[in-house]
């Protein structure tokens, strides 16, 4: 180190960077269902998972949305692949369509719910995680028409 300082005129330091992934999101318990996400004249199939706001906090995932607002509102945390497919970013709104919707005398009417993107996360550990949309339990119940 002293030799490098004398020769180069500065000290070179080695920095170790730890990379944390959101692999834990796949381990969060909760019901899930398939839906169609749409925004900006684009659509993609997604898996919707209803989770507790505490699940986000336990993973140190910063969303910029208060836990109470996430739990009560229509906010969603989406994977990068979903964001790219819909051309959306944090703060944008998108529509989720549950094709199993409500039975009517004329057939099944899909349920639709609009969500605001609270966070876009990189989820590399599994293919399933890259197409998952995480919403509050309340948001999931509204979309699916039932309790978790």
CB 130 within 8 A of CB 26: no
* Burial class of residue 129 (count of CB atoms within 10 Å of its CB; 0-12, 13-18, 19+): buried
Query: Which has the minimum average pLDDT: 6-15, 30-39, 75-84?
Result: 6-15
CA dihedral 5, 7, 8, 9 (to 10 degrees): 50
Confidence of residue 41 (pLDDT cuts 50, 70, 90): very high
Query: Which has the minimum average pLDDT: 28-32, 64-68, 91-95?
Result: 28-32
Dist CA 27 CA 87 (whole Å): 27
What is the rounded average pLDDT of the residues 44-73?
A: 80
**Residue 80 confidence (pLDDT):** 86
What is the rounded average pLDDT of the residues 2-26?
A: 39
Lookup: tokens for 47: 């898996």
Dist CA 66 CA 91 (whole Å): 14
Dist CA 38 CA 12 (whole Å): 49
> Residue 5 pLDDT > 60, yes or no?
no
For the whole model, what pTM was predicted? 0.73
Q: What is the pLDDT of residues 117-147, one digit of tens each?
A: 998 887 555 666 678 899 999 999 888 876 5
Dist CA 60 CA 89 (whole Å): 20
């Amino acid at each position: 180190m002293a030799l490098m300082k004398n020769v180069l005129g500065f000290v070179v330091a080695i920095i170790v960077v730890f990379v944390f992934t959101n692999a834990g999101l796949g381990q969060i318990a909760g019901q899930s269902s398939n839906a169609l996400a749409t925004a900006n004249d684009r659509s993609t199939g997604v898996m919707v998972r209803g989770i507790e706001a505490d699940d986000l906090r336990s993973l140190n995932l910063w969303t910029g949305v208060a836990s109470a607002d996430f739990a009560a509102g229509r906010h969603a945390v989406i994977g990068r692949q979903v964001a790219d497919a819909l051309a959306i970013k944090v703060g944008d709104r998108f529509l989720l369509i549950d094709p199993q919707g409500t039975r009517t005398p004329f057939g099944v009417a899909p349920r639709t719910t609009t969500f605001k993107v609270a966070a876009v996360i990189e989820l590399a550990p599994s293919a399933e995680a890259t197409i998952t949309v995480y919403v509050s339990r309340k948001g999931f119940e509204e979309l699916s028409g039932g309790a978790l």
